[in-house]
Amino acid sequence: MTSNTMIRRMTPSNATLGKVSPSATTMIRADHTHVISTFHQFHAETSAWRKQAIVQTVCLALEVHAQLEEEIFYPAVREVAPDNEVLSQSVPEHDEMRRLIEKLREMRPEDADYERTFMDLMREVMHHAADEETVLLPIAEHRLADRLGEIGARMTKRRMELAAPKVPAMLWNTVQAMPMRGVWIAAGAVALLAFLMGRGAAARPDYATRHAN
């Protein structure tokens, strides 16, 4: 069975999605948490193959997340806050992340600039995510409150379509990124399923406040 077929079979109906999907803003926060907690597994002494798995996990997750925001979440926020400065910076910031992702994909973990490039990417991500969490998500929660469930359901449906071709690579990288591969295969599958459903990792403490500046 191909990953596309598998995801299609796993994807619930629209009515069911509306009941099981996180709201749009919960999904976005969960994605940020997933990326940042994966990033925190990267250390100077981490083995080269595990560094590469961590980087690839982050890059794949960021690509799906950015596309979901651009296709569904940002247009909804634009309807209620068309002149918002943070919103107008968001797509150019995604483009800068994509540039760094492409650069990382052309490198090997042993390359001198590999770690610095990944740190540059994560610095961009943290500033960007902090802006979204302190400006855009509160706007959405205030002015789109009655639509967040419906927007979240559309994002869940779309994320499963976008992630389908990437599932084998995501599962492989998620398991490789874990410290004890053999023991953590099941945990890797659970983490990937959580990502596909937009539920990410466990909540991290006070992230938006710490990175607000």
Binding site for Fe ion (CB under 5 A): 69, 132
Q: Which two tokens stand for residue 156?
A: 């869940």
Asked whether the beta carbons of 161 and 30 are under 8 A apart, the reply is no
Amino acid symbol at 67 = Q
Kindly state the smallest distance separating residue 90's Cβ from Fe ion, in Å: 5
Amino acid symbol at 35 = V
Asked whether the beta carbons of 144 and 76 are under 8 A apart, the reply is yes
Q: Which is nearer to Fe ion, 25 or 174 (CB)?
A: 25
Q: Which is nearer to Fe ion, 34 or 50 (CB)?
A: 34
Q: Which is nearer to Fe ion, 69 or 196 (CB)?
A: 69
Distance, C-alpha 170 to centroid of its chain = 12
178: Cβ contacts below 8 Å, ≥ 6 apart: 184, 187, 188
Kindly state the smallest distance separating residue 132's Cβ from Fe ion, in Å: 5
Q: Which is nearer to Fe ion, 69 or 176 (CB)?
A: 69
Kindly state the smallest distance separating residue 163's Cβ from Fe ion, in Å: 16
Residue whose structure tokens are 């419906």: 150
Kindly state the smallest distance separating residue 100's Cβ from Fe ion, in Å: 14
Angle at 149 between CA 143 and CA 154, to 5 degrees: 110
Residue whose structure tokens are 């079979």: 9
Q: Which is nearer to Fe ion, 79 or 113 (CB)?
A: 79
Kindly state the smallest distance separating residue 65's Cβ from Fe ion, in Å: 6
Kindly state the smallest distance separating residue 136's Cβ from Fe ion, in Å: 8
Q: Which is nearer to Fe ion, 114 or 195 (CB)?
A: 195
Closest CA to 122 of 29, 209, 36, 50: 36
Asked whether the beta carbons of 213 and 192 are under 8 A apart, the reply is no
d(CA 109, CA 129): 25
